[in-house]
Amino acid sequence: MENGMLCPALSGDLDRIHESSPELPNAFVHDGASVLVQDGRVIAAVEEERLNCVKNSNKFPCNPIRYCLSTAGVELGEIDRIAFYATEAYCKTMLERPVVSQPVTLDAKRLLRQLLARECGAEVDPFRLSFANHHEAHAVSAFAVSGFEQSLVLAINGGGEVLSGLLAVGSDTGTAQLDSRKS
């Protein structure tokens, strides 16, 4: 594969298909998926449900990660950055919620690194793991494929972190949030 910045983005829960981890709160409800981007261009993308045949699967995207890496002919160790679909602060809040009346201290970055190592057979440098604001990620991805030099961007869904949507202006320098609504 040609040189360039390689970045997979991930969404989904922190347990695997057909696994239920009672120590993990069921806090990450979006469908499990992965996309591999090289220098702003989508190389591969797929949702977990397409590969595990469980409709609306919100499990950790083990299969999509492997699919995207295989499609690009790269290994996890060749990746420049990995992005998760929620901020680290939101993940921390969700993981600190008591589970079955037993408080558990969990670290999202450590959990993600462990899952990636187990599923892809490679350690991930913690500095290569990034967390994205959920609705900003929606806004950026919508604007990136719009074809416009500048555009008003509206990102709305059932929830994500503490917002249900945001309004932004997209341009070649990124997106600038104008307004947002809480869930």
Is 175 exposed, middle or buried, given 0-12, 13-18 or 19+ CB atoms closer than 10 A? Answer: buried
For residue 11, pLDDT beyond 90: no
**pLDDT above 90 as % of the chain:** 8
DSSP letters along the chain, please? --SS-EEEEEES-SS-TT---TTS-S---SPPEEEEEETTEEEEEEEHHHHH--TT--S--HHHHHHHHHHHT--GGG-S-EEESS-HHHHHHHHTS-BTTB-----HHHHHHHHHHHHHSS---GGGEEE--HHHHHHHHHHHTT--SSEEEEEEEEEETTEEEEEEEEETTEEEEEEEEE-
pLDDT of residue 22: 53
Name the one residue in this structure whose structure tokens are 């307004």.
179
Query: What pLDDT is attached to residue 148?
Result: 92
Higher pLDDT, 17 or 35: 35
Q: In what order do the strands lie in the sheet with 33-38?
A: 41-47, 33-38, 6-11, 82-84, 129-131
Q: What phi and psi values does residue 167 have, to the nearest 5 degrees?
A: -115, 130
Find which of 8-12, 85-89, 93-97 is predicted with most confidence, using mean pLDDT.
85-89
Instruction: Please check the confidence at residue 29 and state whether its pLDDT lies above 70.
Output: no
Name which residue leads in pLDDT, 24 or 35. Answer: 35
pLDDT computed for residue 108 by the predictor: 82
Higher pLDDT pick, 51 / 23: 51
Residues 52/98, Cβ–Cβ less than 8 Å: no
Q: What is the pLDDT of residue 149?
A: 92
Interval 67-88 mean pLDDT: 89
Predicted TM-score of the model (pTM) = 0.77
Residue 157: per-residue pLDDT = 76
Confidence of residue 1 (pLDDT cuts 50, 70, 90): very low
What's the pLDDT score for residue 114? 87
Question: How confident is the prediction for the chain on average, in pLDDT?
Answer: 78
Dihedral sign, Cα of residue 109, residue 110, residue 113, residue 114: negative
6 alpha-carbon distance from chain centroid: 15
Pairing status of strand 33-38 against strand 41-47: antiparallel
Mean pLDDT for 132-149 is: 84
